[in-house]
Amino acid sequence: MSKRVVVTGLGLICALGENTEECWNAVQNGVTGIKEVKTVNAEGCYANLGAEVDSPNEKLSGEDYDRSSLLCIKAAGEALKDSGYEVTEENSDRIGVIIGNCVGGAVSIDKYYTAKKNGGEVKNTDVLKMPAAALANNVAYHFGLNGTTANIVNACAAGTISLSYAADLIRSGKADAFVAGGSDSFSSLAFAGFHGLHALSANACSPFNLSNGITLGEGAGILIIEDYEHAKARGARIYCEVLGSGVSSDAHHITAPDPEGNGQMLAINRAIKNSGLTVNDIDYINAHGTGTAKNDEAEFLSLHTIFDDNDHLSVSSTKSMTGHCLGAAGSIEAVFTVKAVCDGIVPPTIGYTEENLETLKEKAGNIDFVPNTKRVKDIEYAASNSFAFGGNNASIVFAKKPHDIPDRANKERIFVTGIGELIGKPRVEISSDNYKEYGIKMAFYRKLDRFSQLQLLSGMKALKNADITITDDNADKIGIVVGTADGPLTEVYNFQKNVCENGTAAGSAFAFPNTVYNAAGGYFSIFAGIKGYNVTNANSIQAGLQSLCYAADVIRNGDESIMVATGTDENTDVTEYLYETLGVMDKKLLGEGSVSIVLESGESAEKRDAKKYAELVGWASAHKSVEFGKLNGSESALKTAIENACKSAGVTPKDIDLVCGFANGVTEVDDLENRVFADIFGNIPTVRVKNECGEARSAASAEQAAYAAKQLESGEYKYALAAAFGVGGQYSAVVLKKV
How many whole angstroms separate alpha carbon 544 and alpha carbon 482? 7
How many whole angstroms separate alpha carbon 719 and alpha carbon 712? 7
Q: Is 223 helix (H, G, I), strand (E, B) or coil?
A: strand
Name, in order, each residue with C-beta under 8 angstroms of 153's C-beta and a sequence gap of 6 or more. Answer: 100, 101, 102, 104, 132, 327, 487, 516, 517, 518, 536, 537, 538
Q: What is the DSSP string of 415-464?
A: EEEEEEEEEESS-----HHHHHTTT--HHHHTT--HHHHHHHHHHHHHHH
Phi first, then psi, for residue 662 (nearest 5°) are -120, 10
Within 13 Å, how many C-alpha atoms sit on residue 670's CB side?
10
The answer to whether 493 and 625 have CB atoms below 8 angstroms apart is no
Alpha helices (H) in 478-619, listed in sequence order = 489-502, 519-528, 543-556, 573-582, 602-608
How many whole angstroms separate alpha carbon 211 and alpha carbon 629? 43
Q: Where are the beta strands (DSSP E) in 135-282?
A: 149-152, 177-184, 219-227, 240-249
Q: What is the DSSP string of 199-214?
A: -B-SSS--TTTT---B
Nearest Cα to 581, choosing from 122, 208, 10, 233?
122
The answer to whether 545 and 730 have CB atoms below 8 angstroms apart is no
CA 540 to chain centre: 13
Q: Is 599 helix (H, G, I), strand (E, B) or coil?
A: strand
Nearest Cα to 534, choosing from 509, 511, 517?
517
Residue 317 is given by DSSP the state -
How many whole angstroms separate alpha carbon 109 and alpha carbon 127? 8
Three-class HEC string of 84-137: CCCCCCCCHHHEEEEEECCCCCHHHHHHHHHHHHHCCCCCHHHHHHCCCCHHHH
Phi first, then psi, for residue 685 (nearest 5°) are -55, 135
The answer to whether 205 and 291 have CB atoms below 8 angstroms apart is yes
The answer to whether 102 and 392 have CB atoms below 8 angstroms apart is no
The catalytic residue positions are: 156, 288, 324
How many whole angstroms separate alpha carbon 240 and alpha carbon 237? 9
Handedness of CA 61, 64, 66, 69 (dihedral sign): negative
State the Cα torsion 371-372-375-380 to the nearest 10°: 60
Q: Is 506 helix (H, G, I), strand (E, B) or coil?
A: helix
Nearest Cα to 64, choosing from 117, 121, 14?
121
The answer to whether 181 and 13 have CB atoms below 8 angstroms apart is no
Q: Is 320 helix (H, G, I), strand (E, B) or coil?
A: helix
Q: How many residues does the chain have?
A: 739
How many whole angstroms separate alpha carbon 164 and alpha carbon 247? 9
Nearest Cα to 179, choosing from 141, 231, 223?
223
